[in-house]
Amino acid sequence: MPLLEVKDCHAGYGTGSILNGIDLTVAKGELIGIVGPNGHGKTTLLRAISGLLPRTQGSIALNGRSILGLAPEKIARMGLAHVPQGDLVYKNMTILENLLVGGYANRSDARSQAQLDKVFALFPKLEQRAEQIASSLSGGERRMLGIGRGLMMGDCRLLVLDEPSLGLAPVVIDQIYAAIDELRATGMTIVVVEENIARVANHADRLHLMDGGHFVWSGVPAEMHENRKIIDTYLGA
Ligand SMILES: Nc1ncnc2c1ncn2[C@@H]1O[C@H](COP(=O)(O)OP(=O)(O)OP(=O)(O)O)[C@@H](O)[C@H]1O
């Protein structure tokens, strides 16, 4: 059974439709990249999966259970951690406080501590700066904090990352993707949205190219590089 199964998904804001029939299947342990130009629905798809868009239609199942129409916090408790674009960290709180907010759903201090240990093992910089105020972090450190906060929920079965490379220097992007690879090596299932196709192509098992609320191409990264039309149309080569 797939961990995530989205069928014929339609969603949007107000009366406008942004997603026009998306099918997406993610097996346990896979790393899936959703790529494509800005403004074509990648973020909207992640929001629909997380329960943030009330008028979503079609079907969405997590581990075989329908999550369509459930409240976002309920979906989060079922194991979906959504790290939104733009590092929505609490700037006036310390790193530790930000992480503990992410662990609100943990039912015991021991569970929160266990998650904290995992996050600090993944991002040692966050442990070194645990008492530092979040507004003083570099862009890369803020990104780590955003991902760390998502992971604090515990029992994360599906990690959904919206543009983890956005606005970062290449060397910092490498660090973020090294952490993503590390998480994946633990068996975590991950969906990454990126405008920067080359970034995620080196890490993903499969890619979906989104345009106009549809997937216009799906396949393994090597096939994408062999497909001249895709390269000319979407990669600007
Ligand atoms: N809160 C909102 N209300 C109304 N329209 C929105 C809202 N958020 C996004 N949109 C519109 O939905 C469309 C798809 O946006 P979406 O953010 O999903 O695209 P994207 O492919 O993820 O690009 P980006 O990386 O720029 O976010 C765009 O036309 C955008 O203007």
- Domain assignment present for 150: yes
Q: Is 139 in the pocket of ligand 1 (CB under 6 A)?
A: no
pLDDT digits (tens, 9 = 90+) for 28-68: 999 999 999 889 999 999 999 999 998 899 999 999 999 99
d(CA 47, CA 215): 16
CB-based burial of residue 26 (10 Å sphere; 0-12 exposed, 13-18 middle, 19+ buried)?
A: buried
- 37 CA closest ligand 1 atom index: 21
- Domain assignment present for 147: yes
Range of the domain at 97: 88-156
For the packed helices 95-102 and 109-122, what is the interaxial angle rounded to 10 degrees?
120
- Domain assignment present for 37: no
Give the count of domains, the chain. Answer: 1
User: Which residues are 61's β-sheet partners?
Assistant: 5, 66
- Domain assignment present for 218: no
- Domain assignment present for 134: yes
Q: Is 18 in the pocket of ligand 1 (CB under 6 A)?
A: yes
Instruction: ipTM value, please give it.
Output: 0.92
Q: How far is the CA of 39 from the centre of ligand 1 (A)?
A: 5
Percent of the chain scoring above 70 in pLDDT: 97
- Domain assignment present for 110: yes
- Domain assignment present for 194: no
pLDDT digits (tens, 9 = 90+) for 126-164: 999 999 999 999 999 999 999 999 999 878 899 999 999
In the numeric block, the tokens 């079609």 are attached to 58
Measured in degrees and rounded to the nearest 5, phi and psi for residue 158 equal: -135, 120
- 195 CA closest ligand 1 atom index: 25
Q: Is 38 in the pocket of ligand 1 (CB under 6 A)?
A: yes
- Domain assignment present for 129: yes
Among 27, 6, 42, CA closest to 161 = 42
